[in-house]
Structure 1
Amino acid sequence: MRTQLFAGLVCLLLVCTSPVALGIESGPPAQGSADHDRSIAVQYTLDREPNKTGRVRVTATIERPRHVTGLSVRTPGEATVLQADGLQSDGDRWRVSGDTERARLTYTVPVGLSTTFGQRTADTHNWTLLARQEVSLRARWRWHVGPRPTWNESLALAPGQSGVAGRTAAYIGPHETETRTVDGDRITLVVPADADLRPNRTAALDSISHAKRASTAGTDHDHIRVFVAPNELASGGYTPSNGESDVIVNAGEPVRSPVNVWVHEYRHTRQTFETAPAMDWLSEGSADYHTAALTYSTGGIDADQFHERVTTERHETADLTQPDTWAGPGAQYHKGTRVVAAIDAHLRQATDGTRTFEAVLDRLTRHDDRITLALFAETVSAVAGDGLNAFVRQAVTGTAPSVPVEVLTDRDLRRSGAADTTGRRTNFAPSGDSSATTATTAGDGPRRVVDTTRPVTDRHGEWTVLGTLGLLSLLLVRRQRL
């Protein structure tokens, strides 16, 4: 009788703690629903402020799934909130009210992002060029069951506005676009009317198209948007978020250069690996090396220019894992390029040309953990099929190794491997025609922030409610068996 009583109690506990009884949605999504139904979607609709410059109006529309029980957001710095629907002010945050599934927050924010290399975005009398992190909300949330909801951001233009909205950048104002289809994917060049594009459009698209065909590690996006920055903004280029499909390149940047910024920024769109601080140099070092190699392979630069770039002696004694000790800020560009070139040459020699540094990047993109020097060295050795661990460590932390350039000057600089993960860090490229080539992103605020729009999440109560009661029922059954 007591056994039956406890069995009944167990059943009652299981029923009471089921998701249905608790009013919590669980199980697979209903037929016809998409994965994004379980994400928090926020769309930033952008509108130029009439008769004003320097600020834009943003309407953030937030779609909250039912299983997200609490959600609050914080506006960017210097934002002025104009209207809130479905949100309540709570200090410096705005909380989504009650059971509201769709909330809207309208605010204005300044536009004018600056980096070590100068100003990258602006809102002028005639046009606006901005990066998503300038308008993005910062969010926290709680949810009941299932995997952690994602924070899914997108950009859109207000009705009546002429321009192009990408995933991480947008342009509003008079412009023209030209699109190239490469292997079924698109590359769109967005050229503002106020931009004096020095390479012609065909040359810029040819350069990026070749880089796309020759690159295989990382995300191969189905649509790349290249926003041409008017010449008055900083020279060089800017990628709002690594692994994402939008880049910004100054209109005056040449394509026939060892530091071809059009290719450099494209390479950042494929960088879906995450690095530990000691390996942050890898993003710029690998992008710069492949920029020189890819430009050389198309005849954009000659062998002497390629040789000079990959054997540079600048910052050759810098310990790339210790940026605070660098004699100057350009070590990740200069020594980083030389280190990657040396490793690529050794890989080609060890594998009779069948494997290259692209295979290393391919494997690194498949790792969920951040890349450390140890993981990097192990991966190079695995690709080479030979013990290059000591060589890699010495190359990164000691004096830069010599580069057998003759191994690299084969015009068939093909790549191998493929990978696909999520976007990562903000990156910048200096101009090839100024002293900015010695600069780095180490001093730029967004550089170490990774993605300033990445939300802080707060998982709440799943184990406390279901796990504790379930464990109690198991203990009661076990006690009756004793």
Structure 2
Amino acid sequence: MRTQTSAGLVCLLLVCASPAALGVEPGPAGQVGGDSAIDVRYTVAREPAQAGRVRVTATIERPRHVAGLSVRPPAGTTVRRADGLSRDGDRWRVDGPGTARLTYTVPVGLATTFGQRTADTDDWTLLARQELSLRARWRWHVGPRPRWNESLALAPGQRGVAGTTAAYIGPHETATATVDGDRITLVVPAAADLRPNRTAVLHSISHAKRASTAGRDHDHVRVFVAPNGLASGGYAPTNGEPDVIVNAGEPVHSPVNVWVHEYRHTRQTFAVTPAMAWLEEGSADYHTAALTYAAGDIGRDRFRDRVTTERYETADLTRPDSWDGPGPQYHKGARVVAAIDARIRQATEGRRTFEAVLDRLMRRDDRVTLALFAKTVSSVARADLGAFVRGAVTGDAPTVPIDGLTDSGPRRSGSADTTERPTNAAPSVGSAATATNGDEPAAGVDTARPVTDRHGEWTVLGTLGMLSVLLARRQRRRERP
């Protein structure tokens, strides 16, 4: 009787979990229930007659198991043509599986807290992908949430360079360095007066790449040099991605070496809570000074002055709403990370560094909280540093045992427990925030990722299917002699 009941339950679960029982049209073999992606390719061209705008053709590949896919162009967009899409209010609904194309013009001119980062002029265009990206919603029938893959390309006849999250169109030159088989490409517009020597820039970034162990190590990093008239400093359109923008006037021989700072953002793939957003800029700024010092581009005194700064030393880093500007995350943030790094080195006799903390945080799927951060630091140091970390972050800035950082040098140590793994990119915070709050931007530029109408509409069925398999296995074990 028990055997019949279990078998009947298994059959019922299998029938209920099947797409046919629910009226769901199955896709091709190997696709239903798979992690198929919705691929979107943005092909960009300059619009000579419309300064400040570019023309974009978005080619959308919709898998069969994705339903109800709709997209919304960025603000200020003028749609020129739609193939395979139908208008639905301020959105465009993809008519069916397969390929659809939406052609539109969109304004270029991204501004962040620190000024304008991109522009379209009579002679050249520098843009970030988020300026022209579609915002999407969809449902799917079976399996895990489909990935949303975006890529950039230049239209035929457009002279320039397209990266993953940024592109330049116009007269330019490139310089390339190779590091362990990987490439670093410097894209220098003709309109840019690059103040540092190109060799010095590439050497500085190359050293940072060799010395860094945590995070994603890309096989091709593109550094887009921004013409001098744009905002000073630098910008990473999306943390964890291989493209950065740095103003042509930024020096290399500086403890705030922006070329290295933005490179460090390409490796950051951890996600943070608002209270820990400072960690992205604070850790990048500390390692900028440390790596520039280790490369011999600054002396010990300049390194010490940077990581022991008294600026914003009483700021509570977990309360950005209490700051009078973005400075605390850079200044006090760098000092806090320096102090933690020194104590980890002391506790482990130099065998581990703060890189190991970042590596462990980037291996996790959950967002970094202060509690998780303090716990991870203690685990790496193999000593209870929880109270010290919490006090350093929320209270007065801690002292930095500078000798612990300069005697052995901030070199590639603690790499034995670090290995690369692909992860999702975290949004850039500080230089220009991106938001993932529903389908509307919460702050900064706009949504970095699309959102779905229903998160896993049929994933309950997948759970039932797994349960049926487990019940069947259990029954087979019972029936064995």
Cα deviation, 1:360-391, whole Å, max 9, x if unaligned, reads 10111111110000000000000111110000
Indicate the residue corresponding to 1:18 in structure 2: 18
Superposed, 1:330-341 pairs within 5 Å as 330-341=327-338
Cα deviation, 1:442-481, whole Å, max 9, x if unaligned, reads 99x9895697230011246426878899999xxxxxxxxx
Indicate the residue corresponding to 1:462 in structure 2: 458
User: Using the alignment, how far apart are the partners of 2:247 and 2:353 within structure 1?
Assistant: 31
Question: Which residue identity lines up with residue 82 of structure 1 in the other structure?
Answer: R
Indicate the residue corresponding to 1:364 in structure 2: 361
User: Using the alignment, how far apart are the partners of 1:13 and 1:251 within structure 2?
Assistant: 63
Cα deviation, 1:194-222, whole Å, max 9, x if unaligned, reads 11111111000000000000001000001
Superposed, 1:74-85 pairs within 5 Å as 74-85=72-83
Question: Which residue identity lines up with residue 18 of structure 1 in the other structure?
Answer: S
User: Using the alignment, how far apart are the partners of 1:103 and 1:77 within structure 2?
Assistant: 21
| Preserved contact between residue 76 and residue 109 of structure 1 (Cα < 8 Å) | yes
User: Using the alignment, how far apart are the partners of 2:63 and 2:31 within structure 1?
Assistant: 12
The number of equivalent residue pairs is 455
TM-superposed CA distance for 1:28, in Å, is: 4.3
User: CA distance change for structure 1 residues 239 and 471 in 2, over 3 Å: closer, same or farther?
Assistant: closer
Q: For 2:56, what is the secondary structure of its paired residue?
A: strand
Question: Which residue identity lines up with residue 144 of structure 2 in the other structure?
Answer: P
**Aligned match for 1:285, one of 282, 298, 319:** 282
1:132 correspondence with 2:133: no
1:418 correspondence with 2:419: yes
TM-superposed CA distance for 1:345, in Å, is: 0.5
Question: Which residue identity lines up with residue 114 of structure 2 in the other structure?
Answer: F
User: CA distance change for structure 1 residues 471 and 254 in 2, over 3 Å: closer, same or farther?
Assistant: closer
User: CA distance change for structure 1 residues 132 and 455 in 2, over 3 Å: closer, same or farther?
Assistant: same
Question: Which residue identity lines up with residue 123 of structure 1 in the other structure?
Answer: D
Indicate the residue corresponding to 1:59 in structure 2: 57
TM-superposed CA distance for 1:14, in Å, is: 5.0
TM-superposed CA distance for 1:70, in Å, is: 1.8
Structure 2 residue runs of 5 or longer lacking an equivalent are: 469-481
Q: For 1:324, what is the secondary structure of its paired residue?
A: helix
User: CA distance change for structure 1 residues 306 and 70 in 2, over 3 Å: closer, same or farther?
Assistant: same
TM-superposed CA distance for 1:422, in Å, is: 1.8
Question: Which residue identity lines up with residue 449 of structure 2 in the other structure?
Answer: R
| Preserved contact between residue 216 and residue 358 of structure 1 (Cα < 8 Å) | yes
Indicate the residue corresponding to 1:402 in structure 2: 399
User: Using the alignment, how far apart are the partners of 2:467 and 2:377 within structure 1?
Assistant: 47
**Aligned match for 2:45, one of 44, 47, 60:** 47
**Aligned match for 2:448, one of 448, 453, 457:** 453
Indicate the residue corresponding to 1:478 in structure 2: none
Q: For 1:83, what is the secondary structure of its paired residue?
A: strand
User: CA distance change for structure 1 residues 330 and 466 in 2, over 3 Å: closer, same or farther?
Assistant: closer
User: Using the alignment, how far apart are the partners of 1:162 and 1:176 within structure 2?
Assistant: 11
Q: For 2:44, what is the secondary structure of its paired residue?
A: strand
Q: For 1:291, what is the secondary structure of its paired residue?
A: helix
Q: For 1:263, what is the secondary structure of its paired residue?
A: helix
1:391 correspondence with 2:392: no
Indicate the residue corresponding to 1:68 in structure 2: 66
What percentage of aligned pairs have identical amino acids? 71
Question: Which residue identity lines up with residue 69 of structure 2 in the other structure?
Answer: L
Structure 1 residue runs of 5 or longer lacking an equivalent are: 430-439, 473-482
Q: For 1:454, what is the secondary structure of its paired residue?
A: coil
Question: Which residue identity lines up with residue 424 of structure 2 in the other structure?
Answer: T
User: Using the alignment, how far apart are the partners of 1:408 and 1:73 within structure 2?
Assistant: 50
Indicate the residue corresponding to 2:352 in structure 1: 355
User: Using the alignment, how far apart are the partners of 2:8 and 2:359 within structure 1?
Assistant: 55
